[in-house]
Amino acid sequence: MRTRHREPQTLGEGTLDRMARILAARNIDPGAAPAQEPETVSPLEALSAGMPPRYRAAVADHPQVLAWVRAVAEAAVAPNQGARRQVTTGPSLLMAGVVGAGKTHQAYGAVRRLVQSGVGVRWRATTAADLYADLRPRPGADSERELAAVSRCPLLIIDDLGAAKASEWVEEVTYRLINRRYNYELPTLITTNLAIRDLRAHLGDRVASRLAQMTTRVEFEQVDRRRHRLAA
């Protein structure tokens, strides 16, 4: 079977005139330069845009937090050849200490460190109180879908765990969230003002047991840094 080679066709004057009339009707200058593509946003800029203003410059400097960052970065994998490695699984941290000890600052700083290391991070941050508010059944809201989204997020910050009022519903929701992240080894940064024994009493044995197995506990100094700065 022979194929015919067709020479490139040129546009006739009539066609060019019609195109010119169409462009003029649409107020398009045929000689204008094409629109410039918007500048790409760096991963660090995108991260900062999604952070609360107070923590956009947060720096992680605690040795155990830095060790966690290295472990999670090393566990990151590329979805396909040539793609940037993404955070998928890894260890978790339970950061305990008094109010104002810098736990939340370290958590956000750890996410910044991860991005700076060159890996991709899909993450989410919430306080325990906000989490329970979002998950409470109410008209027009799919609380089960929301719980699934939080549970599956590759990297999750849960701030102030144990601060919400204890109840059977709080214990059950917390267990479902922590249990899924435990089973799938999803890295989780948790801050709390409670001792582990108080967490057990507040959230139940099942949650406390999962946390003990899935997290490295980091104790922060017994100094309220916020009050210290005000007194300085």
- pLDDT tens digits along 156-190: 999 999 988 889 999 999 999 999 999 999 999 99
Nearest Cα to 91, choosing from 72, 109, 66?
A: 72
Low-confidence ranges of the chain (pLDDT < 50): 1-3, 5-6, 8-11, 33, 36-39, 226-232
pLDDT at 8: 46
pLDDT at 31: 61
pLDDT at 48: 81
Q: What does the longest C-alpha to C-alpha distance in the chain come to?
A: 90
CA torsion angle 208 124 226 44 (round to 10): 140
109: helix, coil or strand? helix
> Quick one: tokens of 79?
């979805």
Q: Indicate whether this model's pTM tops 0.75.
A: yes
> Quick one: tokens of 104?
């939340």
